[in-house]
Structures are given as C-alpha cells and as structure tokens.
Amino acid sequence: MSGKSDVELRAVDINNFREVGHLKVGKKQAKFLWSGGSPVVNWQFLVDCAYIPDCEPRAAYVKDKLVGLIGWCRHHPEGRFLEPAIPGEYAIDHVMIAKRHQGKGFGRKMIAAAVAELMRQPDCRRIVLSVDPDNKDAIKLYKRSGFRIYHRDDDGDIWMEYKWHE
C-alpha cells in the first residue's frame, strides 16, 4: 500500500528520543512487553540499544506523526549478547504502536518497513522474532506479515521466522 498513510522508519536520535521514550502502550499490549508494561518500556529498550551490539531502534512515523517504535539486532542465541551472533540472522526485538494509534494498520506497515530495511543488509538471510503464546493478536499480525512459527523455547515463547532464502 502506498500513499500518505505509509509508515516511515527513522533513526532514533537527539531530535526524537524523548518523544519516542514517552510513547504510551495500551493495557492489552503492555502485559506482553518484557517490562510488564512499565511506563518506561521504550526507555528500557533504547538503553538496551546503547549497549547491545548492532541494536537498531527505529521510530515509526505517519505523515510526520510519531506512531510507534520497532527495533532489531543480530540474532544472538537465547539473548546471550556476549556470544557471537548467528551469521546472517537478525531478530526483531521490540514492536510497539502507541495506544492512540493502534488498530489502524500501522503495526503491519511498520513490520513490513523493518523487514524491507533488514532485507537490504547484504548478509541477511533470515529474520526472527519471539512472541508470548498468549499474545494472539501479535501472532496473527506476524503471520499476516509473512512470518511463520518454527520453534517454541523452554520458556514457552513462540519463535517465528521470515525467510526468503533457502
């Protein structure tokens, strides 16, 4: 889909980090974010990005209006960032649409923009993400975005992949 409603991903930088950090999540979404829905969930993610190698946060905009935050890094097995990343694999690690912008299709467009950016990486051959099995809305969203389930880890989280190379 193109036109005025497209989501544009921009770097999080000195110009927008405060606004990004203050985005509010809805109650339904909050319980699935790893911070337990703390009001500082985006701040925590931005701090992680400062210390995790290759972590890339992106602010999502529609017509210059901030609507969400998404981020990724190279895929480190079981989140062990001191160990080498899996060559050619990236993990989408944070997907958040602000409460007042949910239900408008921005999540799907934000994920599509992130996948497109990652696919431009010369070494990228696979994109993964994990999701709480109770987060049915997110699982449907990720499936509609081209991800498929490939694994359930020891914590019960569902792992999904977007793979276009064999």
Q: Residues 40-76: pLDDT tens digits?
A: 678 888 998 999 888 999 999 999 999 999 999 999 9
Q: In b/e form, how buried is each residue of 48-81, taking b as 16+ CB within 10 angstroms? A: bbeebeebbbbbbbbeeebbbbbbbbbbbeeeeb
**What does pLDDT average to over the chain?**
88
Q: Does residue 131 contact residue 148 with C-beta atoms inside 8 Å?
A: no
pLDDT tier, 127 (very low <50, low <70, confident <90, very high otherwise): very high
pLDDT tier, 2 (very low <50, low <70, confident <90, very high otherwise): very low
Instruction: Tell me how crowded residue 106 is: count the other CB atoms within 10 A of its CB.
Output: 20
In the chain, helix, strand, coil percent, each to 5? 30, 30, 40
pLDDT tier, 25 (very low <50, low <70, confident <90, very high otherwise): confident
Domains of the chain: 8-163 (3.40.630.30)
Tell me the CB-side half-sphere exposure of residue 113, using CA atoms within 13 A.
26
